[in-house]
Amino acid sequence: MVRLNKVSLSTGSLPRMENCQFYELSSVFRMMKRFFQESRVDGFEFVLLPEWDSENPPLTPTSAPFECEKHTIGEVADALMDKGFPILSVHANRDIGSYLCFEKAYEVDKGIRLVSECLDFTKRMGAKVCVFHF
């Protein structure tokens, strides 16, 4: 049987399936491996979390402490490329819309930088779609 549409799984909540915190990148990777090895999905929508940002705490509500693990977008990209998982889409940092709506230029500049970084990440992953919420 030929399947016409691809099945994509968001990485946003995967760590909770093994009782880990949603921001634990190693857990994200373990669960991606599990689902991909079991042939349950064609690929993933990789969620870029604002919790990983070491510059600022997330603007949107979160249960994560600011002291949680931090990663640059480059570090995440390098680690993900090493794993070889198919990334069908990327969910951009959910704080982008908030940054772009601020009145202070440096905050808007951060939003613009995040847009650019998320699009670069998407291209590097070989994905065709980057999802933004504003």
pLDDT digits (tens, 9 = 90+) for 48-89: 999 999 888 999 999 999 899 999 999 999 999 999 999 999
| Residue at 124 is within a domain | yes
pLDDT at position 25 over 80:
yes
Q: Residue 126: which domain range? A: 8-131
pLDDT at position 122 over 80:
yes
| Residue at 3 is within a domain | no
| Residue at 40 is within a domain | yes
Structure tokens that stand for 16 in this block: 């909770």
What is the helix (H) or strand (E) element at residue 88, kind and residue range? strand 87-91
Instruction: Return the sign of the alpha-carbon dihedral for residues 22, 27, 31, 36.
Output: positive
pTM score of the predicted model: 0.93
Q: What's the domain count of the chain?
A: 1
pLDDT at position 1 over 70:
no
